[in-house]
Amino acid sequence: MAVYGYSGFDSAGKSVAGVVDADSQRIAREKLRREGVFATQIHEEAAEEKPLFKREFTIRGIFARIKIQDVAVVTRQLATLLGAGLPLMEALSATIEQADILPFKRVLAEVRDRVNEGSSLADAMAEHPRAFSELYVNMVRAGEASGAMEVVLQRLADFMDNQVSIRATFWANMIYPLVMILIALVVVFVLMVKVIPQITQIFQDIHQTLPLPTRVLIFVSGFASTYWYLIVFAVAAAIIGMDRFRKTAKGKEWTDRMSLRLPIFGKLIKIAAMSRFSRTLSTLLASGVPIVKALDIVKAIVDNVVLSKAIDFTRERVTEGMSIAEPLRQSKVFPPMVIRMIAVGEQSGELEAMLERVAIAFDREMEAKLKIFTSLLQPIVILVMAGMVGFIIVSILLPILEINQMVR
């Protein structure tokens, strides 16, 4: 029996593509027609499908990593194909052809092979955690159990698109201030190491008592120009040490707790975590994942040990028969708005909808606070730069003015 690749339209007029097994091209067309697919092109596939990967054998294809955007696109395509009535195997084959990243093509091909061997789609995806997260796998498993796979996949695609949008908004607001800070640091470092030592050498040669700002500038500049490598080493050691400390259990909990108490960033971190918590829990519950399992998944999504412990405490209380809102209130780390909305959702039976509203509200608050923060950060950076440059100028001008007075 040969394998035929095809492209065409389904009964709803949507474009479809895939492969079908048949003894001849005519039988393949008849088989597709019975399935509601009208093929416009059909051709026999080679015995091996290796050329599928060879065509993508490029530098970008080899070294590109699987991004959440790639998974979202394939998820939406798979949802559309399944919604159009295509069998799972053919839908997977079609998504493999549409994938642009070689590593992702290989992952999808391995998933298809495992499904062809009798494995469930969720189990096959669970073997590739770098492409499909625990959240993704559990939602797919819930979709298989409920028989609403295309709906679950559509929700997953929407969820991932939303996460990509939030990240893009964050970096779009933060990139300019970060670039300004980097430029300021580089300019000041170059001034201290290269420019200031040549100017201050003149003052040192006259053997005159210098003003305090000038002496401070000479000391800082001399230390930076002589021991710059120690400064670089100290900064690198501090970064590496902090990173290793954060990887320990106590270090992770301490840094996460301190991050929530930061004056400005703490509020932003908490808002982002609450948005992820609300939207992820809403998506899981709407897809049919049991509440205890959903909470177990969500505690890893918030990426904060303090909040994760509160969610884990809630999960334990829920297994004992309590509601969600009460243990969250007892944890004293969740905002009152989240607790009230969850309590209302539990009482009205619309918990998923309430959680989605909470996520939308936090997303809007996050966007507004980011705009305010970045609008304030830019003039602050400029003022700090002006202050440092002003200090350097004053430190240089003061001895010059004193020399002029002595000459007069």
Domain assignment present for 236? yes
Q: Looking at this protein, which amino acid is placed at residue 239?
A: I
Domain assignment present for 137? no
Give yes or no: residues 174 and 266 share one domain.
yes
Predicted pLDDT of residue 45: 62
Give yes or no: residues 121 and 89 share one domain.
yes
Domain assignment present for 145? no
Give yes or no: residues 163 and 295 share one domain.
yes
Domain assignment present for 142? no
Give yes or no: residues 202 and 223 share one domain.
yes
Confidence at 59, pLDDT banded by 50, 70, 90 = very low
Statement: residue 408 has pLDDT above 60? no
Give yes or no: residues 30 and 80 share one domain.
no
Give yes or no: residues 40 and 53 share one domain.
no
> pLDDT by residue (tens digit) across 379-396?
888 888 888 888 888 888
Confidence at 62, pLDDT banded by 50, 70, 90 = very low
| Percent of all residues in the chain with a pLDDT value above 70, rounded to a whole number | 91
Section 258-285 average pLDDT? 84
Domain assignment present for 180? yes
Q: Give the C-alpha separation, 107 to 207, whole Å.
A: 73
Q: Looking at this protein, which amino acid is placed at residue 265?
A: F
Whether the CB-CB separation of 168 and 367 falls below 8 Å is answered with no
Confidence at 64, pLDDT banded by 50, 70, 90 = low
Q: Give the C-alpha separation, 328 to 317, whole Å.
A: 10
Q: Give the C-alpha separation, 394 to 400, whole Å.
A: 10
The total of other beta-carbon atoms located within 10 Å of residue 117's CB is 8
Burial class of residue 47, CB neighbours in 10 A (0-12, 13-18, 19+): exposed
CATH of the domain at 188: 1.20.81.30
Confidence at 3, pLDDT banded by 50, 70, 90 = low
Give yes or no: residues 100 and 175 share one domain.
no
How many angstroms separate the Cα of 24 from the Cα of each of 33, 34, 86, 159, 197? 14, 15, 20, 42, 84
SS3 letters for the chain? CEEEEEEEEECCCCEEEEEEEECCHHHHHHHHHHCCEEEEEEEECCCCCCHHHHCCCCHHHHHCCCCHHHHHHHHHHHHHHHHCCCCHHHHHHHHHHHCCCHHHHHHHHHHHHHHHCCCCHHHHHHCCCCCCCHHHHHHHHHHHHHCCHHHHHHHHHHHHHHHHHHHHHHHHHHHHHHHHHHHHHHHHHHHHHHHHHHHHHHHHHCCCCCCHHHHHHHHHHHHHHHCHHHHHHHHHHHHHHHHHHHHCHHHHHHHHHHHHHCCCHHHHHHHHHHHHHHHHHHHHHHCCCCHHHHHHHHHHHCCCHHHHHHHHHHHHHHHCCCCCHHHHHHHCCCCHHHHHHHHHHHHHCCHHHHHHHHHHHHHHHHHHHHHHHHHHHHHHHHHHHHHHHHHHHHHHHHHHHHHHHHHC
Task: For 107, list phi and psi in degrees, rounded to 5.
Answer: -60, -50
Give yes or no: residues 6 and 128 share one domain.
no
Give yes or no: residues 84 and 225 share one domain.
no
> pLDDT by residue (tens digit) across 89-120?
888 888 888 777 788 888 888 888 888 888 88
Statement: residue 57 has pLDDT above 50? no
Per-residue burial over 282-297, b if 16 or more Cβ lie within 10 Å, else e, is: bbbbbbbbebeebbbb
Q: Give the chain's length.
A: 408
Domain assignment present for 139? no
Predicted pLDDT of residue 240: 92
Mean predicted lDDT score pLDDT of the chain = 80
Whether the CB-CB separation of 6 and 17 falls below 8 Å is answered with yes
Predicted pLDDT of residue 49: 41
Predicted pLDDT of residue 407: 58
Predicted pLDDT of residue 273: 85
Give yes or no: residues 266 and 279 share one domain.
yes
What is the number of structural domains in the chain? 3
Confidence at 60, pLDDT banded by 50, 70, 90 = very low
Predicted pLDDT of residue 51: 41
Give yes or no: residues 17 and 123 share one domain.
no
Confidence at 376, pLDDT banded by 50, 70, 90 = confident
Predicted pLDDT of residue 233: 92
> pLDDT by residue (tens digit) across 230-269?
888 998 999 999 888 888 888 888 888 888 888 878 888 8
Between 73 and 29, the higher pLDDT residue: 73
> pLDDT by residue (tens digit) across 313-369?
999 999 988 888 889 888 888 888 889 999 999 888 888 889 889 888 888 888 888
Domain around 217: 151-408
Enumerate residues 6+ apart whose C-beta is below 8 A from 174. 370, 374
Confidence at 207, pLDDT banded by 50, 70, 90 = low
**Apex 353 CA angle, 349 and 354, nearest 5:** 85
Give yes or no: residues 40 and 72 share one domain.
no
Between 88 and 61, the higher pLDDT residue: 88
Domain assignment present for 146? no
Domain assignment present for 346? yes
Q: Which of 126, 128, 127 is nearest to 141 (CA)?
A: 126
Section 21-37 average pLDDT? 75
> pLDDT by residue (tens digit) across 117-144?
888 898 999 898 888 887 788 878 878 8
